[in-house]
Amino acid sequence: MKTRKWLWRWQNNSLRRRSDRVEAWVGLMAAAVMAVSAPVTGAVAADALGDSLRDRSDFRRTSAVLIENAPTTDGLSTVSSNPTVPAKVKWKAPGGHSRTGRAPVEAGTPAHTRVTVWLDSRGEPRQPPPGPGEITGESAAAGGATAVATCFAVASGCWMVRRRLDSVREKDWEREWAAVGPWWSRRE
């Protein structure tokens, strides 16, 4: 029954208005645009984020010594079973001179402990680069969110066109009723 109700806009019908045909074509075009653009934008976004995350692979790992006790996360809720906190560390730069800075280390690690830190291309400490599983998961989430946002944008445009068509139909109805209404409401 619902299919027949929707298909009436495509059948020859004396009650079908021009705005009904426009609405049917807009809906069909919106569905086609969603079917093509959502997967494309999702794939492009996933690839772009994956490439961006893989670019962090130029990070290099080095050994450092903790200068101070790493703060603990006692009393704080954490997502990870091994949360990291920034702490002051000392490491040898490629030129052989010592450098110090704040780097993410495991919470509660005592001072003078050897830890692994990740350095970017400028030699600054950074969070460890994501693994392949994390890259895949984050890329897929970004691609899915972009595809949904694309569908939402197309559906919003379709909704705005339909609201405009409803407004036009209502004005047409009021104009036609103004012409016919007095004739129908005459008392005999």
Q: Please tell me whether residues 150 and 64 are part of one structural domain.
A: no
34 assigned to some structural domain = no
**For residue 77, is pLDDT > 60?**
no
Nearest CA to 158 out of 32, 58, 9, 45 is that of: 32
- Identify the pLDDT of residue 36: 96
- Identify the pLDDT of residue 129: 79
- 137-180: pLDDT as tens digits: 999 999 999 999 999 999 999 999 999 999 999 998 899 888 88
- 115-140: pLDDT as tens digits: 888 887 787 888 887 888 888 999 99
Q: Please tell me whether residues 65 and 101 are part of one structural domain.
A: yes
Look up the domain containing 115 and give its range: 60-128
Q: Please tell me whether residues 108 and 86 are part of one structural domain.
A: yes
| Total count of domains within the chain | 2
Q: Please tell me whether residues 51 and 92 are part of one structural domain.
A: no
CATH number, domain containing residue 118: 2.40.50
